[in-house]
């Protein structure tokens, strides 16, 4: 009896939260998902640090390497992706990098740049900084259109460099030479050392980006991240998008005012911008029922997706790919313990 009562209360609460006409709760759901992924990232980083300590500082117990740390090697993931496409072979040192790259690309193609808006810890930190800036200065600033456009081209230039270098210039046999090098084997360690032994120049660069992020929204994501640039371009083919219905819209402007990607939602019927990261802030802010929806278009069929289901679909695709890869044995690094002892003991 007690269990049935709990289920009924939970069902009734879910109904009141998810079916109420105002959709402000979506913002809270997203903040919660982002915070969880940020905590997960910290946890993975901590475990990887403990794993390293075992090899570099005598007396530290062995901690198993968290394979998800390969998510921080997007370039390696891209290289493995191309290598697997051309040779049918999954490189065995950082296979989780390939899996993460595939999952992130798949999410972007299917449900907008949702990885950036819901999962990426860098996007979340960036958001916390501009929110802090909003509190301190009472608002965030906006660059003049031409300056904004010019700075935005930076991330596309960086993206083009990686695409040209890895996608076209680097042949699979060149990649193989890189894959068997000690440098590649501990690419994850090098990435961690970049942050733990940070140079003065890198600290200055991060500091400047941090200060600019207090003033302007999402400076790293909007102007500099080549990964986000690629995902944004791919997301233009996504069947999921935000659509505005003119008949229901009261032109209150709340959607455009609140969009963290500075998209003028109020003036568009369908958001096709590569900057839209599916955060649903516009949908959450819209006071007019039926004016803004998440839609899924397939051929001539167009259906409305309940906004509460958007993160379910997004996380479902993400974890389905990771789960399938794990079941196929494409997740765990095959680097032997002795190799870590050889390469890391002198560091």
With contact defined as beta carbons under 8 Å apart, do 250 and 291 qualify? yes
Using the rule CB under 6 A, is 281 a contact of ligand SF4? yes
Dist CA 179 CA 170 (whole Å): 13
Is the alpha carbon torsion for 156, 161, 165, 169 positive or negative? positive
Dist CA 166 CA 127 (whole Å): 30
Using the rule CB under 6 A, is 26 a contact of ligand SF4? no
Residue number with CB closer to ligand SF4 (98 or 291)? 291
Beta pairing class for 292-298 and 301-305: antiparallel
Residue number with CB closer to ligand SF4 (30 or 54)? 30
With contact defined as beta carbons under 8 Å apart, do 93 and 70 qualify? no
Dist CA 308 CA 32 (whole Å): 13
Which of 259, 314, 317, 322: binder of ligand SF4 (CB under 6 A)? 259
Dist CA 297 CA 308 (whole Å): 18
Using the rule CB under 6 A, is 325 a contact of ligand SF4? no
Identify the CA nearest to 123 among candidates 198, 258, 219: 219
Using the rule CB under 6 A, is 278 a contact of ligand SF4? yes
Ordered strands of the 240-244 beta sheet? 240-244, 292-298, 301-305
Identify the CA nearest to 226 among candidates 124, 91, 74: 74
Using the rule CB under 6 A, is 321 a contact of ligand SF4? no
Using the rule CB under 6 A, is 277 a contact of ligand SF4? yes
Using the rule CB under 6 A, is 266 a contact of ligand SF4? yes
Using the rule CB under 6 A, is 292 a contact of ligand SF4? yes
Using the rule CB under 6 A, is 111 a contact of ligand SF4? no
Residue number with CB closer to ligand SF4 (102 or 126)? 126
CA distances (Å), 136 to each of 125, 133, 208, 220, in order?
17, 5, 17, 20
Residues in the interface with ligand SF4 (CB under 6 A) total 28
Residues 6+ apart with CB under 8 A from 231: 104, 105, 108, 113, 115, 116
Using the rule CB under 6 A, is 221 a contact of ligand SF4? no
- Footprint on residues 223-252 left by ligand SF4 (CB under 6 A): 242, 244, 249-252
Using the rule CB under 6 A, is 94 a contact of ligand SF4? no
Residue number with CB closer to ligand SF4 (263 or 314)? 263
Dist CA 302 CA 132 (whole Å): 39
Residue number with CB closer to ligand SF4 (133 or 307)? 307
Dist CA 154 CA 149 (whole Å): 9
Using the rule CB under 6 A, is 291 a contact of ligand SF4? yes
Using the rule CB under 6 A, is 293 a contact of ligand SF4? no
Residue number with CB closer to ligand SF4 (167 or 253)? 253
Residue number with CB closer to ligand SF4 (65 or 222)? 222
We find the least distance from the C-beta atom of residue 257 to ligand SF4, in angstroms, to be 8
Sole window of 87-95, 198-206, 273-281, 309-317 interacting with ligand SF4 (rule: CB under 6 A): 273-281
Using the rule CB under 6 A, is 263 a contact of ligand SF4? yes
Interface ranges with ligand SF4 (CB under 6 A): 242, 244, 249-255, 259-261, 263, 265-266, 271, 276-282, 285-286, 288, 291-292
């Amino acid at each position: 009896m007690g269990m049935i009562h709990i289920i009924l209360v939970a069902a009734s609460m879910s109904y009141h939260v998810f079916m109420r006409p105002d959709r402000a709760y979506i913002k809270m759901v997203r903040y919660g998902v982002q915070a969880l992924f940020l905590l997960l990232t910290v946890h993975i980083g901590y475990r990887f640090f403990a794993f390293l300590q075992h090899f570099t500082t005598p007396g530290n117990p062995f901690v198993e390497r968290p394979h998800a740390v390969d998510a921080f090697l997007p370039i390696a993931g891209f290289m493995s992706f191309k290598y697997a496409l051309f040779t049918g072979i999954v490189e065995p040192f950082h296979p989780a990098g390939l899996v993460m790259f595939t999952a992130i690309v798949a999410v972007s193609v299917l449900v907008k740049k949702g990885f950036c808006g819901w999962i990426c810890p860098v996007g979340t930190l960036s958001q916390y900084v501009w929110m802090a800036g909003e509190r301190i200065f009472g608002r965030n600033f906006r660059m003049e259109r031409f300056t904004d456009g010019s700075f935005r081209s930076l991330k596309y230039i960086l993206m083009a460099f990686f695409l040209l270098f890895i996608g076209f210039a680097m042949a699979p046999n060149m990649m193989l030479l890189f894959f068997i090098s000690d440098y590649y084997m501990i690419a994850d360690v090098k990435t961690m050392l970049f942050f733990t032994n940070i140079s003065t120049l890198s600290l200055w660069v991060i500091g400047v980006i941090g200060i600019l992020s207090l003033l302007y929204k999402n400076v790293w994501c909007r102007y500099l991240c080549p990964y986000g640039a690629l995902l944004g371009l791919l997301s233009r083919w996504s069947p999921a998008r935000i659509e505005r219905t003119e008949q229901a819209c009261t032109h209150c402007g709340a959607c455009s005012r609140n969009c963290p990607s500075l998209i003028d939602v109020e003036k568009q019927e369908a958001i096709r911008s590569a900057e839209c990261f599916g955060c649903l802030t516009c949908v959450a802010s819209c006071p007019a029922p039926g004016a803004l929806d998440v839609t899924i278009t397939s051929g001539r069929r167009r259906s409305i997706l309940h906004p509460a289901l958007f993160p379910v679909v997004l996380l479902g695709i993400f974890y389905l790919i990771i789960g399938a890869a794990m079941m196929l044995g494409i997740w765990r690094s095959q680097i032997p313990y002795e190799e870590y002892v050889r390469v890391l003991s002198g560091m």
